[in-house]
Amino acid sequence: MYNDEAYITGSCVIRNNRVYRNGTLLWEAPQEQELPEFLRAGYDHFAGQYPKFHKMDSLSKLGWLATEVLLKDQPLDYPAERIGLVLANKSASLDTDLRYFDTVKDIASPALFVYTLPNIVMGEISIRHGFKGENAFFTSDAFDAAFMTGYITQLFAEGAMNACICGWVEVMGPVYDVFLYRVEQQGNGEIFNTHNLQRAINIKSL
């Protein structure tokens, strides 16, 4: 039963060709490495056994990789239908939309068309981890920690889920920024509130 408190039990930030978990740098690639090569190298380092990864668009790869890091060695131990996903970004699927539009001039690419909805990243994450719970994808000019906290708190209060992966997955061309959190009704971690959610994003070492 929800007792009006939930906890941030983990975080993953992928930014500037670096991957952080819980504020600690786990791995980094050369700064001059472009996004496709960085994602491939990150996949090889943290996963390496999921061939479908290579067919995904950049948005899905980023969200998939961040979730892989977030849950590595510490999966969410709840029924699949009790684990939710709540993500947001600024550009929706525009990065892939533009790439797909370029192919229409010749022969439209069905492989790209599959990814012309921003919520497909949630589908890829759910398939990988078997999640079947509540999910939502929002767009806004910047990460809105207050909105994210309020929305997820309401889902907990309604008994819709016991745990959630939430956060921001943004990519537009070579520019990207990802920060995901695992939030649970029970666990060891900081209280899930706007202040702590925002503070975790602004780690000085990033």
Q: Is 182 helix (H, G, I), strand (E, B) or coil?
A: strand
* Whether pLDDT at 2 is above 80: no
pLDDT tens digits for range 28-43: 999 999 999 999 999 9
State the average pLDDT over residues 94-122: 90
pLDDT of residue 85: 98
Looking at every residue in the chain, the average pLDDT score rounds to 93
pLDDT band for 106, please (50, 70, 90 cuts): confident
Alpha helices (H) in the chain, listed in sequence order: 35-46, 58-71, 94-104, 110-113, 120-129, 145-157, 194-201
* Whether pLDDT at 100 is above 80: yes
Higher pLDDT, 181 or 99: 181
pLDDT band for 205, please (50, 70, 90 cuts): very low
The structure tokens 């070579």 sit at: 174
Domain ranges (residues) in the chain: 7-200
pLDDT tens digits for range 39-97: 999 999 999 889 999 999 999 999 999 999 999 989 999 999 999 999 999 999 999 99
The percentage of residues in the chain with a pLDDT greater than 90, rounded to a whole number, is 83
Domain 7-200 is found in CATH 1.20.1070.10: no
Listed in sequence order, the residues at least 6 apart from 177 whose beta carbon sits closer than 8 Å to its beta carbon are 14, 15, 168, 170
Listed in sequence order, the residues at least 6 apart from 113 whose beta carbon sits closer than 8 Å to its beta carbon are 100
pLDDT of residue 123: 97
pLDDT of residue 118: 93
The structure tokens 């910047």 sit at: 142
pLDDT of residue 195: 93
State the average pLDDT over residues 120-128: 97
